[in-house]
Structure formats: C-alpha cells, structure tokens
Structure 1
C-alpha cells in the first residue's frame, strides 16, 4: 500500500476529484462546531487539500500533515512553496496512522478524509488517534462504507473467487469503534455519491491514479490479464444506465470528541442521513 501511494503522488491530482469533494463536505461540518484549535493534524493528508483548507480556516493554528507516503508529502511541500504565508506554520510527518510517531495529547483537532479505510487494523487506527488528542479535542473524518464500488465488486465476483475490491466497515461498526476507542458523542452521517464513466477502463485508471488498492489478506495478487479484463468489462456493462457506467461510493462522515471525563459512561452513537440534515436547513 505504501509503495502504491508513493507511486501515485505524481498522478494523484489528476484523479482526486472525489477525494476533493468528500474533503470539502467533511470540512463543512466545522461550520456547526465551535472549536479554536491550536494544533491540528491532517491524517492521511495526501497532497494537502485538507491541510490547505484547515490552514485557511484556522489562521493561528499549527497545521501538521501526516502521510504514509513520503512522495505525497514531497509533492505537498512543493505546492506549499507556491502558497501564501500562512503555510509557514504547516509541518509534515511521514508515518502510519496505525502507529503514530507522535506524543500523547498533542492535538486539538484531528482531521482525516478518505484515509482510514486503507488501514489493516481500524481499531488500532482509532485508538492511536484518540491517544494523540488533547482533552476536549475534536476528531473529524470521512471514510468509505461497504456499498462502495459495489458494481465493481459484483462484477469481479462473477469472474474470480478471490476478492479484488476492499471490504469497508459499515456506519454502525465505525460508531462502535469510536466509542470503544474512548471517543465521546460520535455523530455519523451516510451518503452515496455516484460517479459516471464512459467505460470501465476509465474507472480503473482513476483508481490506479490515486493509489487505491485492495488491502484484504485474501486479495488476488496476480495481474488482471486481458482475457479476464474483457470478461470483467462484459459483466460491468450490465450496470450501464443512460449510456454511462456508474461507480457508487458510500461515504461516511463523522465526528467525535476526546472528553476524558465522559469515557466509559455509555455514550450513544447518533446516525443521520445527509439528505435529512439538508432538508432541516
């Protein structure tokens, strides 16, 4: 996975339209949350879209970027040199969310957009994030749910016995992980985004361009041969609608608090539909 993301650094910005859209939606939650963070960390920061927005919003804060891929950080550093002065307070850390090279109680706001789903041990990810947060700190994140790329998953299932597409945690599992990791008052929202393609190969290019990979232990490690690719395209064609091939993404957006005095008191998870929330406004 680390090698894939390092290779993808040079192509990432050409294919990350979904990542940018989800990061924007996730950051919009800050409009309804009152915080004045001093230290912020962007976990799985990629090329720095989230970090840049956070630095703009919280001009007095120190914004740190963490990514497992050094090439991603180097790309972001190059972009930083072309940016405004407020980026001088941004720091960069090469590390793994599952084992953060960071001291306890270091951050007031932890942000992560579409990075947590790549972890092999999601419970460890959440515990590590909780460990590095200051009391009263906010964890704001987005991740992918189990309906993500369902068309691709179903098409692969017809031609192969081994999984080729990641399995993702559902919204209730995410809420349970937050609570068991010591977070309080988790609020989770679910939405579906459908990206339309002219053909399957365009989807595959986008996935490769952002470094997306299957981290399942049972995953197929062989290359997809020409014969299998043709069969896969035939199966995926069954999903064609109005001359386009859909690719579904189930996006889970959530936040929770690092409130030491509430730990272990049976906090409840709250689940909402983004559509319902929009109708309330």
Structure 2
C-alpha cells in the first residue's frame, strides 16, 4: 500500500468515527469490512472498548498479499477485543450491531447485493456506515499520458443517489448520504500511476 493510500484510508476512517460521535451506540458486536492490516481494529477498539470486533480479511478486496493476510491473522490473536478474522465472508449465522466498511464498495460489481447481505446480518436497530469512492474519482487521470483503453471504471463507484436508492430497496430505514471531495497532489506521474493501479483505476498492462 502506498503512503498516500494509507493516509487516505486513515483519513476516511477518522471521518467515519467523527460521524458516529453524535450517535448513541453501545454495540456488542462489530464487523469491519475490510480491516487493513489491523489499522481499523485498533481505532475501533478505542472507540468501542467493550465490543467484540470481527473483520473481513482484505484478501477479499483488491491488493491483498500473503504477508498482509498473515499479519491480520496475528493481530486478530494478540489485540484485545479479539474477534474473528473472516477469510470466507460473513458466516451465515453471524449478526452485528454495527457494520463498517472503508473503501471497498467501489470495487464490487454488485453493490446492491453486498448491501442486501449486510442487511441480513444486522441486528434489529443495527447500523451500517460505509465510505466508498464515487464516480468522479480519478477524473484527472484522463489528462495523464495514458494510452487509450488503459483507464478503468470502478464497478461500484455509483452516484450517491443510486446507492441511497439501493439502501431503500434493501429495507434500510432512514438512510443518510453525503459527499466529500478529497484531493491528493502528486509530485510525479509514477506515484499517481501506482495509486491508480492500486485503486483499480488503471489497467495493469497500462504504461506511462
């Protein structure tokens, strides 16, 4: 993971936590989807010290490596509030009071199916909170010196109104959506290229 993407994920995670502050929550079971090398787990242990925290291995998400998977498994054993590291998705019998997702929805070919699955695993009165990259992500890449056909659309980077409609269709009550712009500045095209690859915005066979 590049330094800029590590910062982006940490920044968005902090914003998710800030948005949860006004909400009265005492969740007993939390699902993090995914947990990037233990980063999310540590923050949510501090925020919800009494909760059991399960996490989806980011092997389910783009860019996983065997080392990162092993690191996640080790962290799940030694950190307090140790829940399960779920390598095969959410177990059929699992239920959660709070489901949180940081930058994974845009990589999914069917966001509605993911939302439906999460709804099945929420307890009555449970909450889902997620952040994803929208359709404007990487629009500056169109001005980069890339060959035609090497730019890729993120399959789940839908307009927030479409995601809001999907939430209603999947029986979520009182959905609230908002949009924020974050701008990353790069000193070199190579750094931008690496992040574009990591996020799935650039085809692996693209050349600068």
TM over 0.5: yes
Cα distance 1:15–1:141, how it changes in 2: closer, same or farther (>3 A)?
A: closer
Higher strand share: 1
Matched residues in 2 for 1:171 and 1:203: separation?
Answer: 25
- The match for 2:72 among 61, 69, 76 is 76
Does 1:52 pair with 2:42?
yes
Tell me by how many angstroms 1:159 deviates.
3.5
Structure number, greater radius of gyration: 1
Counterparts of residues 49-128 of structure 1 (less than 5 Å): 49-69=39-59, 71=66, 72-79=68-75, 83=79, 86-87=80-81, 89-96=82-89, 100-103=90-93, 106-128=95-117
- The match for 2:133 among 144, 155, 159 is 144
* RMSD (CA atoms): 2.6
Higher alpha-carbon deviation: 116-125 or 157-166? 157-166
Cα distance 1:13–1:131, how it changes in 2: closer, same or farther (>3 A)?
A: farther
Counterparts of residues 6-45 of structure 1 (less than 5 Å): 11=1, 15-45=5-35
Higher alpha-carbon deviation: 163-172 or 38-47? 163-172
Bigger relative contact order (CA 8 A; separation at least 6) = 1
TM-score when scaled to structure 2?
Answer: 0.85
Cα distance 1:157–1:206, how it changes in 2: closer, same or farther (>3 A)?
A: closer
Give SS of 1:65's match: strand
Matched residues in 2 for 1:132 and 1:13: separation?
Answer: 33
Q: Which runs of 5+ in 2 are unaligned?
A: none
Aligned to 1:134: 123
TM-score when scaled to structure 1?
Answer: 0.64
Does 1:213 pair with 2:208?
no
Tell me by how many angstroms 1:51 deviates.
1.8
Aligned to 1:198: 187
Aligned to 1:186: 175
Does 1:166 pair with 2:145?
no
Give SS of 2:32's match: strand
Q: Which runs of 5+ in 1 are unaligned?
A: 1-10, 230-281
Tell me by how many angstroms 1:224 deviates.
1.9
- Equivalenced residue count is 201
